[in-house]
Structure 1
């Protein structure tokens, strides 16, 4: 029986199990998108900059402090419900700020609140799905975030048009109020339906037989999920996986700088001639390309079980985009094309984490550490990267940022080859022709 997400189940029982876990895991993954990650960028170009008298690189500092909070918050273990409710409260608070210093404090705390979400979700996905199922599910998680970004631009434009000035509040303030209202029910939903790993899950919608099948169908004998010990640390640090996978996402994740810093929105605002609604709406094309690229690439990688071609595609797309923008005499239409093409960079995130899940599938403790480390090192780099290479003061040209993007893509290609080489060397040492886990 063919399941719509591309997996052909060997039994009705496994098909039923997949339908259940797809419904509950993916529904929460898709809803668990914090809109004001992108709303902060939309608010900045929709009146927040002027109302709070922001100048220089203060916008970049907001993102840097969020990232710093994110890194700090990755250390302790947390439950998602109180954190997501806390996130909602902080979002409401953003709508009432009087100066940028208050936003600094709020974003740092929101970074701490979100820190466990991203890695935890990828770890759960890797715990329930086989490699030929994992890419598409990781892509749905990534795409749901992009849908949130896409919706944010449309929402900000609609809010500005219909609510700007209502009850004495600016349009960008109403955006954070609406975002806060959305957050709390999603947190409650996730608390009741999101499962633990198969070996320990108590999800009410799974029977005892389905819990056993969830573990056995992955062909994994390692079900240990204990605390970090020196033995675990030595095992992880003695292998290539932690080093190579961490380096890969630390570098490749920065190709997303086009979208994560809303460079197109800043460009449109800086050159002038565009309305607030246009500045909110036009960058949505970057996100739309990201969604399509992420989903199409995921289907291809699950079919071929080769993750590296997506990183090559992403890198060349961003090199072309950066080159078109770097040549400032190029027509405006070409710059629009370049920014939209840069949306391909988002396809790398789902692919990279699916690849790491696949590489570390035989060791759950190592897999958890590697996934967390990948996210941590990417955020360590991202804490200072936009300040140095994409400061708001560089708008509209972002000259050094475009040069940096070309070198970042070249480095991504080199590290992608390194991971590909090391993975195949490991296969040869084990006497394998390829990764047979879960096939």
Structure 2
């Protein structure tokens, strides 16, 4: 039993000190984490299906040429850019239990409509509006996870959440390959059209699930499965520093609190560079390359890129766990910066097809940036909910702003098979991210020391904020570990 407990602690973290808190965390994991993961899974499924459809007959059916696919994706990211911050602000006023299912239902209907278009212009319009609603999921969920989980619990859950999106991309390839084999031509619909129909049918029950079970935030929850004592514990257990800027306090000082802080600039920079490092994977470069060679069947063109998502899932979970266990998120940032530079260097002049494939599969590790960088941001701004909500949304909004031109400039479909400009851009992005990670790490340590001087708390060692300690059920040990990290 002792060995099993040690393994459980290493993998999932130390159990809560009381039976009541352990029971509460179980319920949070079952209902909140499941709701978030299902939502993000179907979000990515409905998003990734366009790339799968493109290599499965849509290109030919709609007479798409050159960089048409990249133009459509750019329009999608424009809508995503517009939608993120308004969606996060909306959840300060509208209960997430209502807002999130509404957005899921809306993008599900638009996904269905995409299956019946007859021009690429129609897809452009539908994808823009779809992105407005999909913008609620990623940054909104990071905000909500940060509202329910303690710092030592957050990285692992964030890793699982992010991996669920990658599972959507993984499943999209599997689904499209299977649909093409079994439904292509049924009822007069091409296989790629059936994919959008089936995705819609999968989306609706998930919207219903989220509506029934998502409990809003600890301060506003009315969840039927939480007792009154558990609702109070959900608030008090977080040990969030007492400030005037609690949940829902979006007042005239918010712009000063956000724009006057280093966090928004540093975090936006490192995540923008981090998302640029995903470009080989997020632009389906492997799928485009396989289609360009004309050496593979439609089924294999869909199945082979699934391994990129598999690499992303494994690395996201492992590196999210590492970040949680060590409290050193910046280590992961340095690692992914290095792998981005390596993949870019190989793709710039691959000696053979094996090296090219290796680089494209290796790039899947970049997906782990999502987990670690957003968990890091949640920890840094834990004491100001509206500011945290806006900064998290701004991080992805700025990154998406780059998506609107970065993809079409460096990773367009008509640049196959070398993507030379993209390889150079990958190396530059990795180098810039590494520099940004070191700067944010320095500012984080400086902020912790200043907070400890301004807001002394009993038992806190100089230079350490207890909010950021490596709490493992023993506050003394957590503080000592955090001191070591700061030093």
2:466 corresponds to 1:436:
yes
Which residue of the partner structure matches residue 398 of structure 1?
Answer: 419
Aligned match of 1:284 in 294, 302, 306?
306
Residues 311-320 or 118-127, more deviating: 311-320
Q: How do 1:4-403 and structure 2 match up within 5 A? A: 5-32=12-39, 33=41, 34=43, 35-74=45-84, 75=86, 77=90, 79-220=99-240, 221-222=242-243, 224-328=246-350, 330-403=351-424
Which residue of the partner structure matches residue 478 of structure 2?
Answer: none
- Cα distance, 1:235 vs. partner? 2.1
- Cα distance, 1:274 vs. partner? 1.0
Q: 1:435 to 1:278 in 2, by over 3 A?
A: farther
Contact 1:24–1:194 (Cα < 8 Å) also in 2 = yes
Residues 265-274 or 68-77, more deviating: 68-77
Contact 2:333–2:433 (Cα < 8 Å) also in 1 = yes
Rounded to whole Å, the distance in 1 between the matches of 2:277 and 2:465 is: 28
Rounded to whole Å, the distance in 2 between the matches of 1:258 and 1:238 is: 35
Contact 1:315–1:410 (Cα < 8 Å) also in 2 = yes
Listed as ranges, the gaps of 5+ residues in structure 2 are 92-98, 453-461, 472-487
- Cα distance, 1:318 vs. partner? 1.9
RMSD: 1.5
- Cα offsets for 1:202-226 (capped at 9, x unmatched): 1111111111111111111247123
- Cα distance, 1:229 vs. partner? 2.5
Aligned length: 438
- Cα distance, 1:227 vs. partner? 4.8
- Cα distance, 1:435 vs. partner? 4.2
SS of alignment partner, residue 333 of structure 2? helix
TM-score (norm 2): 0.87
Rounded to whole Å, the distance in 2 between the matches of 1:98 and 1:324 is: 39
Contact 1:131–1:305 (Cα < 8 Å) also in 2 = no
Rounded to whole Å, the distance in 1 between the matches of 2:179 and 2:254 is: 51
Residues 267-276 or 283-292, more deviating: 267-276
Contact 1:224–1:364 (Cα < 8 Å) also in 2 = yes
Rounded to whole Å, the distance in 1 between the matches of 2:30 and 2:417 is: 43
Rounded to whole Å, the distance in 1 between the matches of 2:133 and 2:385 is: 25
Rounded to whole Å, the distance in 2 between the matches of 1:299 and 1:86 is: 34
- Cα offsets for 1:145-187 (capped at 9, x unmatched): 0001001111111111111111111111111111000001100
Which residue of the partner structure matches residue 431 of structure 2?
Answer: 410
**Structure 1 runs of 4+ off > 6 angstroms?**
none
- Cα distance, 1:73 vs. partner? 2.3
Contact 2:451–2:465 (Cα < 8 Å) also in 1 = no
Listed as ranges, the gaps of 5+ residues in structure 1 are none
Contact 1:95–1:176 (Cα < 8 Å) also in 2 = yes
Contact 2:103–2:136 (Cα < 8 Å) also in 1 = no
Rounded to whole Å, the distance in 2 between the matches of 1:336 and 1:388 is: 22
Rounded to whole Å, the distance in 2 between the matches of 1:185 and 1:121 is: 19
Contact 1:46–1:172 (Cα < 8 Å) also in 2 = yes
